[in-house]
């Protein structure tokens, strides 16, 4: 009998979920031939691809996972930068902003905690404005400095926590390690998006912030928090958490992920676009998919790091 690791179990679970979703969509299409399910089915197809790439990278090893995560940061930062009204004088600072990706993922991959945690919040936040100053253009300086630093914080620093997490060792004598914790975080974050969407579509009435994100409702949020809380309890074999703790952590991921999604919605509203890009059919850009993770990853990471390591 082959011993399944927690990662294998979740992989099989995700495979099952995808099969059920695809079969369910096919049945819906048969039952209601008149209706249009193309968005739903393209979304599910995209989930197949995303899950395939994600698990492919996990099974290929830590370096492959780090490369995939760094590419996610790269793509997200590129989508964000495209929307900014950057000035000619920002060019060199922007080169540095992108250069920070391999450097930050190197700290994350080598588990150099001190550098990992201060490189962007301290050194890049000091250097990027200085580089802008060296370009010699004062007009619009503060807006550029703020926009570039914010992007690097959210999409490089925020997402790189996934990269550090994946290299973390086993917790005590448990099965849980960085890899399984990463799976817990990503699975709960993505499921929370799905549940908030589904609950919002079916029961949603009271909008939370109608001027920013008209699709986000209290019913969706509460439904999402409760649903992933329960998921968290079932998935606690991936973590060192107790049952109650799993529920609370998973629910917190849903709340923080909601903040991430709402923040990115505000940015899209500000720029007057619907999606950040078109790399993921049915979902939009990379940023439309990882918005919640940008917020959930650092919060989850620091909880685990301080309480369980």
Partner 1 sequence: MLQAIFFSLFVRPFLTFFVGLRIAGAENLPKTDPFVMIANHTSHLDALTLLSLFPLSRLRNVRPCAAADYFESTKMVSWVSHTFLNILGIRRTNITRETHPVFLMKACLSRGESLILFPEGTRGSGEEISSFKTGIAHLIEEAPGIQILPVFLKNLNRSLPKGEFIPIPVFCDVRIGAPMTVQGSRQKIVRSLEEAVKALAEG
Residues that bind partner 1 (CB under 8 A): 74, 77-79, 81-82, 86, 88, 91-92, 94-95, 98, 277
Cβ 58 to partner 1 shortest distance, Å: 22
Rounded least distance, CB 109 to partner 1, Å: 21
Identify the burial level of 99 via C-beta atoms within 10 angstroms of its C-beta, where 0-12 means exposed, 13-18 middle and 19 or more buried.
exposed
Q: Which two tokens mark 111? A: 């588990």
Q: Which is nearer to partner 1, 9 or 87 (CB)?
A: 87
Question: In degrees to the nearest 10, what's the CA dihedral of 275, 278, 283, 289?
Answer: -80
Whichever of 86 and 226 has its CB closer to partner 1, that residue is 86
Nearer to partner 1, 5 or 82 (CB): 82
Name the residue nearer to partner 1 (CB basis): 69 or 253. Answer: 69
Question: Phi/psi zone of residue 35: left (φ > 0), alpha (ψ -120 to 50 degrees), beta?
Answer: beta
CB environment 27-53: b (16+ within 10 A), e (fewer): eeeeeeeeeeeeebbebbbbbeeebee
Nearer to partner 1, 90 or 291 (CB): 90
Nearer to partner 1, 32 or 85 (CB): 85
Q: How far apart are CA 281 and CA 243, in angstroms?
A: 36
In the complex, minimum distance from the CB of residue 95 to partner 1, in angstroms, rounded to a whole number: 5
CB of 78 to partner 1, least distance (A): 4
- Closest contact distance (angstroms) between CB of 157 and partner 1 is 18
Q: Are the C-beta atoms of residues 200 and 220 closer than 8 Å to each other? A: yes
To the nearest 5 percent, what fractions of the chain are helix, strand and coil?
Answer: 75, 0, 20
Min dist. Cβ of residue 105 to partner 1 (A): 16
């Amino acid at each position: 009998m082959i011993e399944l690791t927690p990662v294998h179990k979740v992989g099989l679970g995700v495979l099952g979920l995808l099969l059920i979703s695809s079969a369910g969509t096919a049945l819906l299409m048969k039952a209601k031939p008149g209706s249009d399910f193309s968005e739903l089915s393209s979304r599910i197809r995209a989930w197949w691809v995303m899950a395939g790439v994600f698990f492919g990278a996990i099974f290929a090893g830590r370096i492959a996972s780090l490369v995939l995560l760094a590419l996610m940061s790269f793509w997200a930062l590129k989508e964000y930068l495209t929307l900014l009204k950057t000035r000619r004088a920002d060019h060199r600072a922007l080169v540095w902003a992108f250069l920070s990706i391999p450097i930050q993922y190197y700290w994350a991959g080598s588990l150099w905690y001190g550098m990992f945690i201060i490189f962007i919040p301290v050194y890049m936040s000091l250097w990027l404005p200085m580089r802008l100053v060296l370009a010699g253009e004062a007009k619009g300086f503060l807006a550029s400095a703020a926009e570039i630093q914010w992007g690097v914080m959210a999409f490089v620093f925020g997402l790189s926590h996934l990269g550090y997490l994946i290299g973390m060792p086993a917790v005590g004598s448990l099965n849980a390690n960085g890899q399984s914790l990463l799976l817990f975080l990503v699975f709960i974050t993505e499921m929370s998006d799905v549940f908030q969407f589904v609950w919002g579509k079916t029961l949603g009435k009271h909008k939370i912030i109608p001027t920013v994100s008209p699709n986000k409702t209290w019913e969706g949020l509460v439904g999402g928090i409760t649903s992933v809380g329960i998921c968290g309890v079932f998935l606690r074999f991936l973590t060192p958490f107790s049952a109650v703790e799993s529920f609370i952590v998973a629910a917190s991921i849903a709340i923080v992920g909601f903040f991430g999604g709402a923040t990115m919605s505000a940015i899209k509203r500000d720029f007057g676009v619907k999606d950040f890009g078109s790399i993921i059919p049915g979902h939009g850009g990379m940023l439309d998919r990882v918005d919640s993770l940008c917020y959930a990853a650092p919060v989850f990471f620091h909880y685990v790091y301080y309480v369980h390591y």
